[in-house]
């Protein structure tokens, strides 16, 4: 079985049925649209009210999310994968243009922010909650018919890669800066 066929089969399992539960649809729409905004406002509020604990993870989250967004824009420019509804698959429950589906920008941004807290701070609980919310958003995008599962998984993996690489580069840069600040033995 090809990856594309597996992707289609997983989509069929997650996507809403022809007669979905109206409460589940409302929940999925809330998760897909409103939770992202609440998520960002929540992280900003934590950063504002707990500046010492959240400053570095918040800066990393912002920088790594900006980098992942730039990479996603480049992917959009050079690679096109249709959304499920553009292929007449499943049930589309929200309006969405037939733009590139890979990677999911919602999942990419939320995963990137969550991973910055989960992997590179003492705020493991905050990061874990944020990552669970990111996966919930990913589920909602597939359930509502605007993304394939591979779009969600690919977005998460891209966010993970950028967070790990970005943190390694940052650590090397800080080590370099620290080594440059040491007084010379000849003076």
Task: State the pLDDT at residue 55.
Answer: 80
Q: What is the DSSP string of 114-174?
A: HHHHHHHSS-HHHHHHHHHHHHHHHHHHHHTTS--HHHHHHHHHHHHHHHHHHHHHHHHHH
**pLDDT tens digits along 81-128:** 999 999 999 999 999 999 999 999 999 999 999 999 899 888 889 899
Separation of first and last alpha carbons in the chain: 68
Give the distance between the most distant pair of CA atoms in the chain. 79
What is the residue-level pLDDT of the chain in tens, covering all 187 positions? Answer: 899 999 999 999 999 999 999 999 999 999 999 998 898 888 888 777 776 777 888 888 889 999 999 999 999 999 999 999 999 999 999 999 999 999 999 999 999 999 998 998 888 898 999 999 999 999 999 999 999 999 999 999 999 999 999 999 988 988 888 888 866 555 5
CA distances from 47 to 40, 52, 92, 123, 173 (A): 11, 8, 36, 12, 24
Domains of the chain, residue spans: 19-93+100-181
pTM for the whole thing? 0.89
């Amino acid at each position: 079985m090809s990856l594309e066929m597996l992707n289609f089969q997983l989509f069929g399992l997650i996507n809403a049925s022809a007669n979905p539960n109206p409460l589940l649809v409302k929940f999925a729409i809330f998760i897909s649209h409103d939770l992202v905004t609440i998520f960002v406002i929540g992280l900003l509020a934590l950063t504002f009210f707990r500046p010492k604990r959240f400053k570095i993870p918040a800066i990393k989250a912002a920088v790594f999310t900006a980098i992942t967004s730039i990479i996603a824009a480049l992917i959009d420019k050079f690679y096109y994968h249709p959304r499920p509804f553009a292929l007449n698959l499943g049930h589309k429950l929200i309006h969405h243009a037939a733009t590139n589906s890979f990677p999911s920008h919602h999942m990419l941004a939320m995963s990137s922010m969550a991973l910055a807290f989960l992997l590179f701070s003492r705020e493991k609980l905050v990061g874990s909650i944020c990552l669970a919310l990111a996966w919930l958003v990913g589920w909602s995008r597939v359930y509502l018919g605007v993304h394939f599962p591979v779009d969600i998984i690919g977005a998460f993996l891209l966010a993970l890669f950028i967070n790990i690489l970005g943190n390694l580069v940052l650590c090397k840069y800080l080590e370099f800066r620290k080594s440059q600040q040491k007084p010379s033995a000849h003076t």
